[in-house]
Amino acid sequence: MSAHTPFAPPRKPLVLMTMGSQARNGHDYQVMTHKYIKPLVEISDCTPLLVPTCCGTEALEHYLSLADGIYLSGAGSNIDPALYGQQNLTPDKAQDRERDLFDIALVRAAIDKGVPILGICRGMQEINVALGGDIHQKVYSEPGFDDHREDPEDPPELQYGESHMVELVEGSWFADLMGTRRIPVNSLHGQAIRRLGRGLAPLAHAEDGVIEAIHAPGLPQFTLAVQWHPEWHASENPHSVKIFTAFGEACRRQAAQR
């Protein structure tokens, strides 16, 4: 090698982030909110690859062949209840069936290939549905549960402010990662897990019993999904920093195996 040949920097892990549909002024867009991307870059130290979900699953395996991690974000749309065997109880809420079908297939394929997975809000519910679980479509109407929705009239700083505590499962790796049994979280969801999918187990519960975090303890790869929004001002929240750091480390281990 020439003395003048520069060394290439290590390749950062490549993480798939699936986008969702949004209509604007008569045009259909594929979108991803900046707040989800920034902690993946700034804390996880990974490279995002934004994946459209509007064109079917034909290219899914090609995308997955590039991936060191899968990161499923939240969104304003709900999962089509027909995909978990229920009638639609929230017809006023937006749906995104193209994202549903792509992400469900992606979760199953990523599990088969041992790729690390992180899910947030809708992303957690997608993982659950992909593995045969189902959803409380209106958890705020279920006896014994609180209303976990934000006030739509509030500015974002209030909507994403601390709302309630979650209790982490004692002795779990997640409790060890957080360094505590209870953490404060924001709350911006009208739906929640009802029945867990195959191989999934809870890692945290809200004070009313709503499942707030899950993993797949029988799988070799990193799996974590949370119902709250750790991406919001993530660098200012020590618990969010720990989540995104752990995911980045898992993706680096995956990349090192290539």
Give the span between the Cα atoms of 184 and 83, in whole angstroms: 32
Q: Which residues contact 37 (CB under 8 A, 6 or more apart)?
A: 17, 48
231 has catalytic annotation: yes
Which position among 121, 126, 189, 239 bears the catalytic label? 121
Selecting among 98, 229, 239, 251, the annotated active-site residue is 229
46 catalytically annotated: no
| Extended beta strands in 20-89, E state | 20-24, 27-31, 47-51, 69-72
Q: Where would I find the H helices in the chain?
A: 34-42, 60-66, 97-113, 122-130, 156-159, 173-178, 238-256
**Which residue among the candidates 98, 150, 212, 231 is catalytic per the annotation?**
231
CA distance 74 to 231: 10
Whether 121 is catalytic: yes
**Active site residues per annotation:** 121, 229, 231
